[in-house]
Amino acid sequence: MRKCWRRSVEPVGFTRADDAVAACRAIPKKFDALLVGHRASAVSALDLAVALHEIVPEVPIVLATASADESDADALVAAGVSEIVHRPLISAEIAAALARCLRGPGFAPVSYARNAFSQN
């Protein structure tokens, strides 16, 4: 018989990049994945991804952007970006990207996903 379990998600959101960085510094093991987006530009979001990746390099980052064309592949990899989702955000696309990240090598399920950073 197959056991099924449901994973709950505890989304944590920030409107300021500095607050997100401070949260990751304060409790680096709190997050299983980070959803990073910035309304102004993909470059600002990528800068934030770089800062977060330096603090928690093992945590996958999903970048939300209107256009992935603004960043080259090398910059995305260097920033720790595992997935890209496009604006406007679609919940199914975010869920699929997070699922792929969290199923990645070395991910150990926890009692709840201490997940999602979202910057608006």
- pLDDT (tens digit per residue) in 58-91: 999 999 988 766 678 888 999 999 999 988 999 9
pLDDT of residue 104: 65
Q: Inform me whether the pLDDT recorded for 118 exceeds 70.
A: no
For the domain made up of 11-90+113-119, give the CATH fold. Rossmann fold (3.40.50)
Rounded Cα distance between 38 and 16, Å, is 10
Query: What average pLDDT does the segment 16-37 reach?
Result: 93
Q: State how beta strands 12-14 and 34-37 pair.
A: unpaired
What pTM value is reported for the model? Answer: 0.76
pLDDT of residue 65: 87
